[in-house]
Amino acid sequence: MSKAIGYAAVDPSTPLAPYAFSRRAVGPNDVQIDILYCGVCHSDLHTARNEWNNTLYPSVPGHEIVGRVTAVGASVKGFKIGDIAGVGCMVDSCRSCPSCSDGLEQYCENGFTGTYNGPVFGGENTYGGYSDNIVVDEKFVLRVSHAENNLAAVAPLLCAGITTYSPLRQWQVGPGQKVGVVGLGGLGHMAVKIANAMGAHVVLFTTSPDKKEDALRLGASEVVVSKNKDEMAAHLNSFDFILNTVAAPHDLNPFLALLKRDATMTLVGAPASPHPSPSVFGLIFKRRRLAGSLIGGIAETQEMLDFCAKHNIVSDIEMINIQNINDAYERMLKSDVKYRFVIDMASLKSA
């Protein structure tokens, strides 16, 4: 066992505060990482405040981790001391079910083990990246090839990046396609960057007209204010694919009406309460599809990191000290960040 320090929530209503705990000893297949940066995901807030009614306390959130390898087990072949490595949303799975065999560990039939909050179907708690170090099986550690001066902005790729990359790949987004992105937040801004790099004509949908300039800077070709009926009507039946990143309940029907026949809108935002049920007629008359997507498997996450390194894609971030995490949560609820908070874990030394 080794000592670790971090920030934890001990119940749904208490602010996150310093917390000391233990990591397991480095086993034959393990990689130990000193955490340099950890992104702040809306899932962290949902979990810390038990908004999904499944939190194991104490909860040390954080699953957008970039750090430096400090120890490796005797059987580890892919990493050495000094390497820069990443850890995303999972640290284990059953490794034997059909999904795991297909490299889709995120859909493990027996439940993947989250980087924090333990296995999906119940089990021992796990502690995430709001801490100084972590020990992870090599199979769930990612190689980071971005330049070191970009490492803080790489951290959100481990969740926001793969959450948007995976559906864009699954629905084969590429040149010549018209692709919509709903929402310009932590997920949406990554979707715009990645879809643009894939060669698509990207249209950003937002309720905020003042986000137009930023959306165009990030790679959108057009911006539509979704509350403007005329702007929406101009795009009826024209999209090959729409990625909806909004994590708040809203009417899906206006966006479904923008899809071509046989086209798909995929949801990646996870609201605390359900969306209103869409009209079945909007689906059946054009054979449209409404789908969902989680993160990506480990192989696809590595593919995403390599793609982003090749295309110089990182997240737009605001760096914070760990002591400001509770304020960051409140600002995140107000969408007062462009577009992802990242914790400088060096700040833990003064916690």
Q: What would the pLDDT profile of 119-148 be if each residue is shown by its tens digit? A: 999 999 999 999 999 999 999 999 999 999
Contacts of 70 (CB under 8 A, 6+ apart): 32, 33, 34, 81, 133
CA separation for the pair 289, 278 (Å, rounded)? 11
60 torsion bin: left (phi>0), alpha (psi -120 to 50), beta (else) = beta
Environment class of residue 173 by beta-carbon count within 10 Å: exposed (0-12), middle (13-18) or buried (19+)?
buried
End-to-end CA distance of the chain: 22
Question: What's the pLDDT band for 193 if we cut at 50, 70, 90?
Answer: very high
CA 209 to chain CA centroid, Å, is 25
DSSP 35-52: EEEEE--HHHHHHHTTTT
pLDDT digits (tens, 9 = 90+) for 14-63: 999 999 999 999 999 999 999 999 999 999 999 999 998 999 999 999 99
Q: Coil, strand, or helix at residue 53?
A: coil
Identify whether the C-beta of residue 37 lies closer than 8 Å to the C-beta of residue 344: yes
User: What is the mean predicted confidence (pLDDT) over 154-178?
Assistant: 98
Identify whether the C-beta of residue 158 lies closer than 8 Å to the C-beta of residue 63: yes
